[in-house]
Structure 1
């Protein structure tokens, strides 16, 4: 049996649209076992009863990309998914599925894919690396596409910082939320985001959390997506009042992420309660950044 652990991710962190993401200590487990014939897919935890258990399952589809590339056809395959990452909430569940499937298949058939090859293959399925890169690499990742190749770097996060996430009890489709975005932006808004993204990276690298309230502002995607989330502005304001250093939409949403080095329990409760007051059931989690990306836990 091959077992792979993949972390959740929070992308963008406000101004870093499609170029910044962070891995979190919340995980999906992907297990692959050879069987005599056929395909068996079992799902436990998040998405159980809703995710497909056939060849349309995203983990299997990612694995098949590797099998086809290696010219490998398993006689039979059992896939067991133990999911801790909420599905369709902006915490990288689809990226975790793709990365988990690729790594497990790579180990199962001996395809010999390296990190860059797996990253490129995963991005060809997801279309963009915002969650893919941190899920595979761990930590806080800054990335760019250069002539079709992904270039990246990681930075160390200041000690003690946590991500408090408020996860609403409804799904948002990333494709739909992308369609809500404008095709063109003004020079003023572009400069606004460039300055905030640069400030955000520098602040986290130096451990200067005092500027995160400004650094996590955004004009490229959040103003257009936030209207799809009841209570968004109230939750953001409440989190800041409770002591959050900076607050942003997690990926395409609807989850909201607050970075904090203190009062995390209070922030978590306030965010959940503010969502409730807006008519939205939500749960809150306090998650440490994960310095380690996806990894094979054991091979039996």
Structure 2
């Protein structure tokens, strides 16, 4: 079987741990029954021994099969990875969702996306990446009693994402340690108002308010100070047609949303200004995890 999972961008400025969307940029996982286990990686992560020796996909896939009462099988795993590793584009969420979905399919269980999402929460406690990885689109996510509740809005294809991917990572674990344990009432109201407005903007198609709605006082500036060039990325994006420009997850990638007609121009500016960074012009994904071939 072949299952694919899209890249994601989470937080989206003020939506810390609760807003995320899906990008049309997929990791593809191919699994074939075999007489012995083997792992081959093509693309991102290729040649890194740690992904061959202690592979998260394989561990979660076999653990989920064991939960279904299936054990003792061997497989040939082929991973074709497009999503940059440790750059805030949901590479870990793609692995988690892909592994669980693959186990469901192999066990001949219905691909119940809600169950897959709740199972994914075991491995990723923040739902803002795993939810769009499962469902696609723009998502508002809430966790209550070990269950994810979400509302999805499809993203029109008149938009593109211009992703700027720096040549270094920002550790999610370390960057969380730089965040305060408490926030002021004024900062909290600031973020609640912006994240609420962003949700309504996606629901009602009020795209002109996205620049205002994507401002944040919880995490972005603190994380970007670890890599100050990101402030320049955001400034250039907003000055050249981006409707919103936000740190993707905990970084270091930057997510920029614009009309499709403006995307290549913005990408060209980024490529000229930041020649050592990668720049991707991507569509938005409204499907989430998919079975591509059986």
- What TM-score range do you get, normalising by the shorter chain? over 0.9
Cα offset, 1:113, TM superposition: 6.2
What is the aligned partner in structure 1 of residue 67 from structure 2? 69
What is the aligned partner in structure 1 of residue 80 from structure 2? 82
Q: Deviations over 1:188-221 (max 9, x none)?
A: 1100001101111112222222211111100111
8 Å Cα contact 1:28-1:83 kept in structure 2: yes
**Does 2:250 match 1:255?**
no
Q: Deviations over 1:268-298 (max 9, x none)?
A: 122343334xxxx211111111011011111
What is the aligned partner in structure 1 of residue 57 from structure 2? 59
Structure 1 length normalisation: TM-score? 0.93
Q: Aligned partners of 2:68 and 2:237: how far apart in 1?
A: 48
- Look up the SS of the partner of 2:234 in the other structure: helix
What is the aligned partner in structure 2 of residue 18 from structure 1? 17
Cα offset, 1:34, TM superposition: 0.6
Q: Aligned partners of 2:160 and 2:169: how far apart in 1?
A: 24
Q: Aligned partners of 2:169 and 2:49: how far apart in 1?
A: 13
Alignment CA distance shift 1:123-1:55 (3 Å): farther
Alignment CA distance shift 1:20-1:30 (3 Å): same
Q: Aligned partners of 1:274 and 1:185: how far apart in 2?
A: 35
Q: Aligned partners of 1:51 and 1:171: how far apart in 2?
A: 19
8 Å Cα contact 2:12-2:248 kept in structure 1: yes
- Look up the SS of the partner of 2:291 in the other structure: strand
Indicate which of 236, 239, 254 corresponds to 2:237: 239
Q: Structure 1 stretches of 5 or more lacking a match?
A: none
Q: Deviations over 1:63-117 (max 9, x none)?
A: 0221121121143111110001111111000100111111112111235562222
Q: Deviations over 1:239-279 (max 9, x none)?
A: 11111111100111001111111421121122343334xxx
Q: How does 1:89-238 map to 2 (within 5 A)?
A: 89-112=87-110, 114-238=112-236
What is the aligned partner in structure 1 of residue 278 from structure 2? 283
8 Å Cα contact 2:198-2:213 kept in structure 1: yes
- Look up the SS of the partner of 1:9 in the other structure: strand
- Look up the SS of the partner of 1:22 in the other structure: strand
Q: Aligned partners of 1:213 and 1:129: how far apart in 2?
A: 24
Q: Deviations over 1:114-172 (max 9, x none)?
A: 22221111111012111101001111111101122111110132441111110111122
**Does 2:3 match 1:4?**
yes
**Does 2:285 match 1:298?**
no
Q: How many residue pairs are counted as aligned between the two chains?
A: 293
Alignment CA distance shift 1:16-1:81 (3 Å): same
Q: Aligned partners of 1:174 and 1:65: how far apart in 2?
A: 25
8 Å Cα contact 1:42-1:53 kept in structure 2: no
Report the more deviating stretch, 91-100 or 101-110: 101-110
Q: Aligned partners of 1:220 and 1:142: how far apart in 2?
A: 17
- Look up the SS of the partner of 2:103 in the other structure: helix
Q: CA RMSD in A?
A: 1.5
Alignment CA distance shift 1:126-1:84 (3 Å): same
Q: Structure 2 stretches of 5 or more lacking a match?
A: none
- Look up the SS of the partner of 2:123 in the other structure: helix
